[in-house]
Structures are given as structure tokens and as C-alpha cells.
Amino acid sequence: MIMPFTQCPVCGGDLLEKEVEKLLRGGIHAAVVRVHAGVCLRCGERLYTQDTVRYFEQIRAKLKHHETMDFQLLGQFFAVESNVPDSALQPTAPDGAAVEA
């Protein structure tokens, strides 16, 4: 893979080519794709080639149009209503006791 950058454009850190997983969403569907990317060793920014970005766009379009026959089904994806009890939003101490604000 030929990266257009030798340093991270965000922080100036060194880049290392790695295999990464990218979550792509299209409509109500989502897919996990493994690709190579330049990953900044300092801030974690990921840099993808133009071909990889085009590949992402193709997959997003297929997901949006329900064209998923070529994809491997991994499980199910669920939405959880945000009816979280107020007590779940309160910070806790290491012993589990509520922390006074």
C-alpha cells in the first residue's frame, strides 16, 4: 500500500501500516471490514488510500440498498432505548457507593 503521507497530518506522529477493522453503516445495516491503513503511533488517526475509501463507499451503498447477499452474516444488531435509570448515570466510588456531587 502506498500512503500519501509519511507523517500524521493531525499530530505529526509516525505512521505504521496495520490491518484494522472499520465499521461501515448504510441504512439500517452495518458491516465490519478488515483493511490496511496507516495508523499514527501517537494519536491513533487512521489514514486510508483512495482505493480503500472507494471500497468503503461501495460497501455502504450495498448496505443502504439491502444488497447483502455477498456478505457473511455475523449476528444481529439491536437498538436499546435510552430509558436508563438515573442511578446508572451517577458516578460511583471504587467500592460501588454513590459519589456526592
Task: Give 31's strand partners.
Answer: 24
Ranges of the chain with pLDDT below 50 = none
pLDDT at 72: 92
Residue 25 lies in a domain: yes
* Domain containing residue 54: 15-73
Neighbours of 67 (CB within 10 A): 13
Residue 49 lies in a domain: yes
Q: Which residues contact 69 (CB under 8 A, 6 or more apart)?
A: none
pLDDT at 5: 79
Residue 92 lies in a domain: no
Residue 51 lies in a domain: yes
Residue 44 lies in a domain: yes
What's the structural domain count of the chain? 1
At 18, phi and psi to the nearest 5?
-140, 160
Which residue is it, cell 452474516?
73
Residue 63 lies in a domain: yes
Hey, what's the cell of 78? 439491536
Q: List, in sequence order, the alpha helices (H) in the chain.
A: 50-64, 86-89
Residue 55 lies in a domain: yes
pLDDT at 76: 82
pLDDT at 69: 92
Residue type, 53: V
- Confirm whether pTM is higher than 0.75: no
